[in-house]
């Protein structure tokens, strides 16, 4: 089931996220987050933007949310998306279900532009975004440094 995030989801969300912090370049965060960090993130983001989880048998298998793209008021109709799926659940269409719900909610709230920022390479995330109609609009070379290697970041855009 897909539902709105709750503060008590923080530990499961941080566990999903920290796997990627420790083991991959999907996120360029370098230090794992605490449960408290995610409680604050949930409280801050969910008051203004959609923040949803995919839950099955009382276990959260993925989450997605929209957040501020930039803080200047001229960007108020643009949001940036974040999505993470529990590593053991990749390939089960959870991301597709979460994005379908999230994008529908954003459209109903009259957002105009949706941005997805991806550390590259990331074929699964590129495919997810492009299947929803996102187009690659930017590619920044070697802007992130993790695991003793420089990484590129690309941005995909969807306009309603």
Rg (alpha carbons) of the chain, rounded to whole number: 15
Q: What is the pLDDT of residues 28-52, one digit of tens each?
A: 999 999 999 999 999 999 999 999 9
Which CATH number belongs to the domain containing residue 79 in this structure?
Answer: 3.40.630.30
Q: What is the pLDDT of residues 105-151, one digit of tens each?
A: 999 999 999 999 999 999 999 999 999 999 999 999 999 999 999 99
Overall domain count for the chain: 1
Tell me the C-alpha distance between 117 and 110, whole Å: 21
The residue segments making up the domain with residue 83 are 2-159
């Amino acid at each position: 089931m897909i539902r709105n995030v709750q503060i008590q989801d923080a530990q499961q969300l941080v566990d999903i996220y920290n796997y990627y912090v420790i083991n991959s370049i999907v996120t360029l965060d370098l230090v794992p987050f605490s449960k408290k960090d995610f409680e604050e993130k949930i409280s801050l983001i969910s008051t203004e933007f959609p923040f949803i989880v995919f839950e099955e048998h009382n276990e959260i298998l993925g989450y997605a949310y929209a957040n501020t793209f930039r803080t200047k008021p001229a960007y108020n109709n643009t949001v940036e998306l974040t999505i993470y799926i529990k590593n053991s659940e990749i390939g089960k269409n959870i991301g597709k279900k979460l994005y379908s719900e999230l994008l529908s909610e954003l459209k109903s709230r009259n957002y105009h532009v949706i941005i997805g920022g991806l550390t590259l390479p990331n074929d699964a995330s590129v495919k997810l975004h492009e299947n929803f109609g996102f187009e690659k609009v930017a590619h920044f070379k070697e802007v992130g440094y993790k695991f003793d290697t420089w990484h590129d970041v690309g941005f995909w855009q969807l306009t309603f």
